[in-house]
Structure 1
Amino acid sequence: MSGAETEVALLELPEPPSPGPGQILVSVEAAGVGPWDQLLNGAGWDVGLRPPAALGVEGAGTVLAVGAGVTGFAVGDRVLAHEAPLPGGSGFWAERILVNAEHAAPCPPGLDAVHAAALPVNGLTAVQALEELDLGRGQRLLITNGGGATGALAIQLAAAKGIEVTATASAAAAERLLGLGAMEVVDYHDPDWPATVRGEFDGALIIATGTAEAALPLVRDGGRLCSLTSDAPAEERGITTWDLYVEPNAAQLVQLAEQAAAGTLKLAPEPLPLSEGPAAFARVAGGRAGGKKIVLTRE
């Protein structure tokens, strides 16, 4: 599946080459869809796609072949991965993909392919953002768009550390997010939502585009603001601000997968057949996923 600049369509693609040194060939069982995929459909995020090619930078499947020097995986192993750049020039929305073995994590027995494929990008983004924010028990964190896939995982991971989370989301998502560990959920539809929360947050995690400027005054002097939407405001009052871009990390993915398999990290993916990939892409790119994580599955 691929798009030139605007079109995403079903394609017949050639088989990937045999895995080279340090690589594994994976039979894809499920692949995640995210708003970042529209950046692949053009020049926004260069992950080494060589059209015609499949989109997708995360997924889960079974190892079909291993390249020279690979010791951690064998044929038949179940794995999940976030991969960028794509060594084979094509992504996870396909039957087979080449990935670097060092970026793959073993899939625990209790984690099915759909849930595994829903985890890599959103989970790694949440983990890496929280590590950079470096907050601890009793400190306060503001998350905008807590109802999305990344936000929901960040809430759970932060709450597990004893961090007090306030999240913006729709009113319909409030009960779910409180159940995931948020202390407070604020309706982002209210244009005056910043005035309804107590400020002096130790940190802010910006996941909703256009909310960084509104969140900055709510962060205490010397606090930290991490933007996932490439719009971190200029630093002021000693507040450290930065934009974060996710990176593959197998060790972090191992921990996330184990938590998901144990049920301590909750996911709620919406599986769709691969044939509905173009429609799924359109939903996500148009912001019509309703906060759900869409995962494409082999039919």
Structure 2
Amino acid sequence: MRAVVVRAVGGPEVLEVVEVPVPVPGVGQVRIRVEAAAVNPVDAATRSGGLVEAGLMAPRDVIGIGWDVAGVVDEVGSGVSAFVAGERVIGVRDRLDLPLGTYAEYVVLDVGAVAVAPAGPSPVEAATLPLNGLTALQALDLLGTGPGGTLLVTGAAGAVGGFAVELAVLRGLRVVACAADADEAYVRGAGARWFVPRSAGPGLAEAVRDLVPGGVDAALDAAAVGLAALGAVRSRGAFVSVVGGAAPVPLRGITVREQWIAADAHALAGLSSLAGTGALTPRVAGTLPLHEAGRAHRLLAEGGLRGRLVLVP
């Protein structure tokens, strides 16, 4: 089968399409025939060697690329009863120490990282859900803000931020969305009660406090704003960064944490159900064939995308 790997870290040009044996599912695993694989910033950090430099993964001779997948169960390993061959699923590869990722024609995942695909969205749309949806959901769980609470979401029009706004509103939170001026209509449509333009820059905290006197109860920082977003949070509030290493110092008794994604089949099934009813909105910035993974990474680096690029084997 064809798969995209990295054998020498660097720019998008180091992404190679190679022929490798079709992986075999082990105990508690399923093999998925890949229909779509989303392209995420963590893929670029893996390709460039940034994750090795940060101590988040050990050096490897061959590095697999890709976390998100939507496809069809092709074979199940022993002990698996939750899925059968031919079933459409979504999944997330949350392990970095593997030679193959989801940029491939087939991928093997633990059953605990897989859920039934949402009814309605296409495989391309569904592929944008696992990593970003779970990140948003687990970040909200870390914040622990209850119904009626106030929440600032930075990067609110991004892949993680957009899901965070929708999920927060479903939990009964009142959301202040920070995004580009051109994205105001989108984030308000997602349910945000207030909007603050990204151009507020260092003045973000005061702009938020003008809307929510005393500061918001919590902030989900999907845009690595850091201290400016922390300033918008009330004393002894909560703050979660979804970008590794971007969390600010916990001033004023604010609980500051970083969200690190973990595969969770139960939570992923819940997200799939919400996407199937239209309560969550997958967004696709474009599709490319598997062999143009390098081009996808170049487009990602240029920025300005709304939603995720998706590779189609």
Q: Please tell me the TM-score bracket, short chain as reference.
A: over 0.9
SS at match of 2:175: strand
Rate the CA distance shift 1:62–1:289 in 2: closer, same or farther, 3 A. farther
Q: How far off its partner does 1:276 sit? A: 2.5
1:53–1:89: 8 Å Cα contact kept in structure 2? Answer: yes
- Inter-CA distance 92–220: structure 2 relative to 1 (3 Å threshold): same
Aligned to 1:100: 110
Contact 1:16 1:98 in 2 (8 A): no
How far apart in 1 are the matches of 2:121 and 2:185? Answer: 25
| Normalised TM-score (structure 2) | 0.88
1:53, CA displacement in angstroms?
Answer: 5.0
Aligned mates of 1:79, 1:100 — CA distance in 2: 13
Q: Paired residues, what number?
A: 296
Which region of structure 1 is more displaced relative to structure 2, 120-129 or 82-91? 82-91
Q: For 2:78 and 2:98, how far apart are their aligned partners in 1?
A: 16
> Which structure 1 segments of 5+ residues have no match?
none
Structure 1 Cα separation of the partners of residues 21 and 63 of structure 2: 11
CA contact (8 A) 1:111 1:257 kept: no
AA aligned opposite 2:267: Q
> Closer, same or farther in 2 for the Cα pair 1:287/1:161, shift >3 Å?
farther
- Does residue 44 (structure 1) correspond to residue 51 (structure 2)? The answer is yes
Task: Give the 3 Å change call, closer, same or farther, for CA 207–86 of structure 1 in structure 2.
Answer: closer
Alpha-carbon contact 1:57-1:92 (below 8 Å) kept: yes
Secondary structure of the corresponding residue to residue 172 of structure 2: coil
Aligned pair partner of 2:153 in 129, 137, 143: 143
Instruction: Give, in angstroms, the shift of residue 71 of structure 1.
Output: 1.2
Query: 2:136: which partner in 1?
Result: 126
1:81-123 superposed Cα distances (whole Å, 9 cap, x missing partner):
1112168630111101111112110113323211110100100
1:5 corresponds to: 9
CA distance change for structure 1 residues 101 and 87 in 2, over 3 Å: closer, same or farther? farther
Instruction: Report the Cα distance in structure 2 between the residues aligned to 1:257 and 1:24, rounded to whole angstroms.
Output: 18
Query: 1:58 offset after TM fit, Å?
Result: 1.0
RMSD over aligned Cα atoms:
1.9
Structure with higher helix content: 2
Any conservation in 1 of the 2:180–2:197 contact (CA below 8 Å)? Answer: yes
Gapped runs of 5+ residues in structure 2? none
Identify if the C-alpha distance between structure 1 residues 240 and 88 changes in structure 2 by more than 3 Å, giving closer, same or farther: closer
Code of the aligned partner of 2:14: V
* Partner residue in 1 for 2:266: 251
Whether the 8 Å contact between 1:49 and 1:90 is mirrored in structure 2 is no
Deviation at 1:9, TM superposition (A): 2.9
Structure 2: which amino acid aligns with 1:241?
V
What is the identity, as a one-letter code, of the residue corresponding to 1:107? A
For 2:266, what is the secondary structure of its paired residue?
helix
Partner of 2:299: 283
Matched, 1:237 2:252: yes
Residue identity over aligned pairs, in percent, reads: 34
Q: 1:175 aligns with which of 181, 185, 192?
A: 185
Distance 2:137 2:18 in 1: 36
1:214 aligns to what?
228
Matched residue, 1:153: 163
Give the deviation of 1:289 after TM superposition: 4.1
Aligned AA (2:23): P
1:24-52 C-alpha deviation (Å, 9 max, x unpaired): 11110000111111222125065689654
